[in-house]
Amino acid sequence: MLLKVENIHKRYDDAEVLKGVSLEMETGQSKVIMGPSGTGKSTLLRCINYLTPPDEGRVLVEGTEITSRNLNRMREKLAFVFQDFNLFTHLRAVDNVAIGPRKIRGMSKGAAHELAMRELERVGLSERAHAYPAELSGGQQQRVSIARALAMEPKIILFDEPTSALDPELTGEVIAVMKNLASEGMTMLLVSHEVGFARQAADEIIFMDGGHILEQGPPAQLFDAPQHDRTRQFLSRIGQGGEAA
């Protein structure tokens, strides 16, 4: 088992955001988490990576539990792609990608640069390697952030609504990159409402509501024959382009 999440709870003041969430992932799987706003989807990703430590529960990667003592080492296995890119604005694209391998993995400047160029080519941006973030479109910036994650050679990439900050016309280029990664066997856990990607590239859909996993299964099962009325209502709304609530 590559990733095992056991009974994760998270509370903010009086609000219990996660109420005992558990999931598992094997190497090479792609899973998409869907659900209404405020149900804990992004919090779950942050708890898995310990950007937000859970109040209760455990996260294990390749059988090893993430703890405060091994946190930095374990985070190298769990790359995170944020919805708002989080690029260093003073660094060119290639340097944004190379900084992790240099600073964290201890690679030489030359080796990190070569790796960064390969990963930028992988996401279709080698010709923009020397551009600053401000010179790139939103879709290009998100592809740089994906290349940055890939450069760490992680076991799993966590995507937190990677297209939500993009105009619809720029969303397709990011989805195409994620589809390619799925076809290559990259293990990915995504919070996303991109139905096309979920149907075509996900192995499983996880539907969350009220801090719980309400239902999960293959895309055909959840999209075409959901078991819960809440799932059916939600998927109907996002399928019609309505706001998920």
pLDDT tens column, 55-88: 999 999 999 999 989 998 998 999 999 999 999 9
The verdict on 122 and 193 lying in the same domain is: no
Average pLDDT value for the chain: 93
Per the domain annotation, does 216 fall within a domain?
yes
- Considering the domain architecture, whether residues 48 and 169 belong to the same structural domain is answered as yes
- The pLDDT, as a whole number, for residue 25 is 97
**135 and 93, same structural domain?**
yes
Nearest to 5 by CA among 17, 22, 18: 22
- How many domains does the chain contain in total? 2
**Cα-based torsion angle of the residue sequence 85, 190, 203, 169 in order, rounded to the nearest 10 degrees:** -50
Query: Residue 19: what pLDDT?
Result: 96
Give the tokens for residue 130.
């020397």
Domain that holds residue 4: 1-77+156-245
Written as six digits, the tokens of 169 are 């016309």
The tens place of each residue's pLDDT in the chain, 245 residues long, gives 999 999 999 999 989 999 999 999 999 999 999 999 989 999 999 999 999 999 999 999 999 999 989 998 998 999 999 999 999 999 999 999 999 999 998 999 999 999 999 999 999 999 999 999 999 999 999 999 999 999 999 999 999 999 988 988 889 999 999 999 999 999 999 999 898 899 999 999 999 999 999 999 999 999 999 999 999 999 888 864 433 33
Helix 109-122 and helix 138-151, axial crossing angle in degrees, nearest 10: 130
Give me the CATH number covering residue 1.
Answer: 3.40.50.300
- Are 24 and 106 found together in one domain? no
**Domain annotation covers residue 83:** no
Q: Per the domain annotation, does 223 fall within a domain?
A: yes
Q: State residue 235's pLDDT score.
A: 87
Give the Cα separation of 198 and 116 in Å (integer): 28
> CA 117, CA 198: separation in Å to the nearest integer?
29
Last residue of a domain, one of 153, 183, 210: 153
Q: How far apart are CA 137 and CA 170, in angstroms?
A: 8
Residues 62 and 6 in one domain: yes
pLDDT score, position 136: 96
Residues in CB range of 142: below 8 A, 6 or more apart: 81, 85, 162, 163, 165, 166, 174
Residues 135 and 181 in one domain: no
Distance CA 158, CA 23 (A): 14
Domain stops at, among 101, 132, 153: 153
Final residue of a domain: which of 96, 131, 153?
153
Note the pLDDT of residue 238: 80
What does the pLDDT read at residue 165?
Answer: 87
Closest CA to 203 of 227, 181, 182, 224: 182
202 Cβ contact list (under 8 Å, min separation 6): 30, 31, 32, 182, 190, 219
Strand arrangement, sheet containing 56-61: 15-25, 3-12, 56-61, 64-65
Question: In the prediction, which pLDDT does 157 show?
Answer: 97
Check whether residue 146 and residue 163 sit in a common domain.
Answer: no
My answer on whether 201 and 239 are in the same domain is yes
Q: Both 146 and 92 in a single domain?
A: yes
Return the DSSP state at 126: G
Is 82 inside any structural domain? no
CA–CA separation, 37 and 175 (whole Å): 21
d(CA 93, CA 26): 32
Shared-domain flag, residues 53 and 73? yes
Query: Can you give the pLDDT at residue 202?
Result: 94
Q: Output phi, psi for 212, to 5 deg.
A: -120, 160
Structure tokens at 208: 């969350």
Q: Are 189 and 69 within one domain?
A: yes
CA distances from 46 to 30, 50, 60 (A): 18, 6, 14
75, containing H or E segment: helix 71-75
Q: Residue 206: beta bridge partners?
A: 33, 216
Same domain, 72 and 160: yes
pLDDT given for residue 109 in this prediction: 95
Quote the pTM value. Answer: 0.93
Q: Output the pLDDT for position 120.
A: 97
